[in-house]
Every structure is written in C-alpha cells, then in structure tokens.
C-alpha cells in the first residue's frame, strides 16, 4: 500500500519534468495505418555512437500514451547517440486485444522497411519497452507463434530490455492492473493467449528485466516468473533490481529518462546493456 501511495504521489513531479523536458531533436513521423495512434517516430542522433537501433514500445496501461507523449525518451536516447524508433499502437478500451500486438508487429515491420529505405543498417536491433510496452514488446520478441502469425523476423534482434513488465497475469496482482486488464480484453477472451510467460519460445535474444520490489503496481514476481520460464527454455536472462531511490513504477519505467546517466542507476544499466549487446 505504501508503494502504491508513493506511485500516485510521484505524478506531479513527473508531469512537471515532462513539460519542461528539452527538445534537441525533431523526429520523423511515419504512419502505418489509418488510426491516429498507428504511427512511429524516428529519431536520428546528431552523431551516432554505434550501428545499433533501439525500438521502443511505450507504456500507459494499454489505454493511454503515444510516441509523442514519450518524446523525451527519444530525445534522451538520441542524445546518447542511438538511432531510436518509438512505436505507437491502438489503445484500449476502444480497441480490444489483440489489436495492440497486431499493431506493434505491423509497426515494427514498417519501421524496419523504412530504415532499410534510408540505407540504415538494421542488423543489430534492441527491442525494449516499459510496463504495458514491456508486455507487448516481449510477446513480439519471444513468441514464435506471434512472429509467424504477423510475419515478424527477429533474427536481427540482439537484445531485449523490459521495464516493469506484467509478464505473467498473477492472481495476486493489484487492483489497478486487474482493472486495466479488464479494459484490455473482451469478455470471455482467453487471456492465456496474451500472457508473455505462457507464450515464450526458445530464442537467441538475451533479455534484461528491470523490475522494482517497490513498484506499487506490478509485482516483482512477474519478472521472476518470466525469468524462470526463460531459463527453462535455455534463453539468456538477467533480472536487474532497481536500486534508485525513485523506484516506484512510473519513475523507473519511464521517469529514469529525465535524468543523466550518472544520476540514475536504472538508465545506466539500460545503456550498458545496449553497449554490451552483440
């Protein structure tokens, strides 16, 4: 309960930082469907530090958020010299699952086509996302059934990093997550068809699961469940427990990008994961 209260009290400062964040880069917007949320933003750094491309799927409880809302994440990563793609998707409750996974896969394919068209090397891709975005991006990255259904090729993916993901639909999860899931799924939908823990296949893609024991919304055990399944399948997996003082859900899943690397251990670990990926 204390962490839930801390999470809710964090929103004022987060909104303040959101509205005062500096914008050094103007992203390119590319649409891949007729819905207003079916687009991605591409950030080209002033000077690239590597040939790796980061693909980011935003959070927001499946019912809120957009690449535009999370512009500061793209600004941050482009500032560190990485090409960055921020994926948008249709939101619940208007659009029921699997619309979100359909969109993430379609957008990823469109983004890869777009980057190839610009002559950009896409042989080293890092897939990442926070919260609901961790849920959706992990399904695309690790479910071979989903990849086959939507024609996604992950042979060029060299790493996956998820922040605060609800990778398993635990019975002991909090009320907020239960309400969000009820908005996401149609009545009677088999939710096991959307549970990353159950959908995971054997994969070459190493994963970093960044999770906090003081999240306030998503239980730490979701990462434990996902990691246990990964190891059972022989997939490389590391859990990074958040050490920063600002360790509630919104702070570490998205708020970490408001800080400098030297100020925030979560951001530093994410960047080191990218740097070390092969």
> What is the block-wise mean pLDDT of the chain (278 residues), using blocks of 10 residues?
90 91 96 98 96 98 97 98 98 98 98 98 98 98 98 98 97 92 97 98 98 97 97 98 97 97 98 97
- In angstroms and rounded to an integer, the radius of gyration of the C-alpha atoms of the chain is 17
Please report the domains of the chain, with CATH numbers, ordered by start residue. 2-276 (3.40.50.1820)
pLDDT at 189: 97
State the pLDDT at residue 178. 94
| pLDDT in the model for residue 148 | 98
Q: How many CA atoms lie within 13 A of 142 on its CB side?
A: 34
The residues, any chain, with a CB within 8 Å of residue 221's CB and separated by 6 or more, are 168, 170, 172
Contact residues for 78 (Cβ-Cβ < 8 A; gap 6+):
24, 25, 43, 44, 45, 46, 84
Token pair recorded at residue 213 = 């024991």
Strands 28-31 and 53-57, bridge-based pairing: unpaired
Q: In whole angstroms, give the CA distance from residue 246 to residue 230.
A: 28
| pLDDT reported for residue 151 | 98
61: left (phi over 0), alpha (psi -120 to 50) or beta: left
pLDDT at 116: 98
Q: What is the pLDDT of residue 58?
A: 98
């Amino acid at each position: 309960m204390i962490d839930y209260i801390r999470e809710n009290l964090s929103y004022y400062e987060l909104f303040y930082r959101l509205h005062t964040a500096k914008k050094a880069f103007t992203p390119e917007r590319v649409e891949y469907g007729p819905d207003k949320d079916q687009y991605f933003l591409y950030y080209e750094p002033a000077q690239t530090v590597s040939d790796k491309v980061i693909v980011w799927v935003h959070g927001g409880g499946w019912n809120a958020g957009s690449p535009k809302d999370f512009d500061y994440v793209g600004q941050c990563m482009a500032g560190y010299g990485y090409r960055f793609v921020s994926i948008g998707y249709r939101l619940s409750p208007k659009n029921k699952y699997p619309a979100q996974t359909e969109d993430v896969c379609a957008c990823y394919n469109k983004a890869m086509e777009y980057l190839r068209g610009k002559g950009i090397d896409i042989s080293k891709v890092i897939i990442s996302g926070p919260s609901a975005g961790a849920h959706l991006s992990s399904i695309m990255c690790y479910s071979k059934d989903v990849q086959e259904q939507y024609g996604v090729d992950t042979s060029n993916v060299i790493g996956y990093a998820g922040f605060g993901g609800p990778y398993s639909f635990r019975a002991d999860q909090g009320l907020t997550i239960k309400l969000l899931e009820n908005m996401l799924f149609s009545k009677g939908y088999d939710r096991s068809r959307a549970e990353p823990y159950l959908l995971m296949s054997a994969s070459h893609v190493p994963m970093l699961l960044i999770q906090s024991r003081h999240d306030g919304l998503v239980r730490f055990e979701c990462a434990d469940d996902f990691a246990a399944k990964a190891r059972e399948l022989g997939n490389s997996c590391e859990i990074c427990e958040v050490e920063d003082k600002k360790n509630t859900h919104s702070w570490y899943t998205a708020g970490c990008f408001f800080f400098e690397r030297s100020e925030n251990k979560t951001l530093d670990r994410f960047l080191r994961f990218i740097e070390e990926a092969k």
